[in-house]
Amino acid sequence: MSGLAAPRQILRRPSLRTLALASLALNLFFVAMLVATFRHPPPPPHQPMPDRFVERMAVDLTDSDARRLRAAFEPLRPRYDTLTREYHEAGQGVRALLQADPVDYDSLRVATEAARAKRRQMGELTEETVLSILPDLSPAGRLRLVGGPGSPGMPGMPKK
């Protein structure tokens, strides 16, 4: 019976050491919560297409390859702006159809397909641009660009 007496004694009157340990644990928890609340990193700045893609890929390329990539996408900026605007408008159309009561599923399907088509056009434009500059890139740059950053089996490549 003495084996059951020890847990009961702890529950009845916790020692000063147990209270100090529990207080320390709670304080550390609250400090961690405060640090997590106030040290939250800000969201990354919005970059429109193709800047988002180009800058993400340029990090892993040499300086000359990154310059070629940026130069290839720069003249396409107006086309990307138009496609982005049309894609957002198509998305707004889908949202409007979803908020209607009752929902017209046939119109929703058509609007969703139109939004997908705009997104697909942006992807195809990006792919064609990348394919057009591949011959001008270094062999390591081609592998990095086609394989993407951190691809399995890709050797580590220095920045310069």
Phi, psi of 83 (to 5 degrees): -65, -40
Q: pTM for this one?
A: 0.62
Phi-psi region of 63 (alpha: psi -120 to 50; beta: other; left: phi over 0): alpha
Q: Where is pLDDT greater, at 137 or 37?
A: 137
Domain boundaries, the chain: 51-146
pLDDT band at 6 (very low <50, low <70, confident <90, very high): low
**How much is the pLDDT for 160?**
46
pLDDT band at 152 (very low <50, low <70, confident <90, very high): very low
What are 32-51's pLDDT values in tens digits? 988 888 877 776 677 777 88
Q: What is the CATH number assigned to the segment(s) 51-146?
A: 1.20.120
What are 84-116's pLDDT values in tens digits? 999 999 999 999 999 998 999 999 999 999 999
Instruction: Report helix angle 63-73 to 139-147, nearest 10.
Output: 60
What are 110-135's pLDDT values in tens digits? 999 999 999 999 999 999 999 999 99
Whether 155 has a pLDDT exceeding 90, the answer reads: no
Whether 71 has a pLDDT exceeding 60, the answer reads: yes
Which tokens hold the place of 6? 């020890």
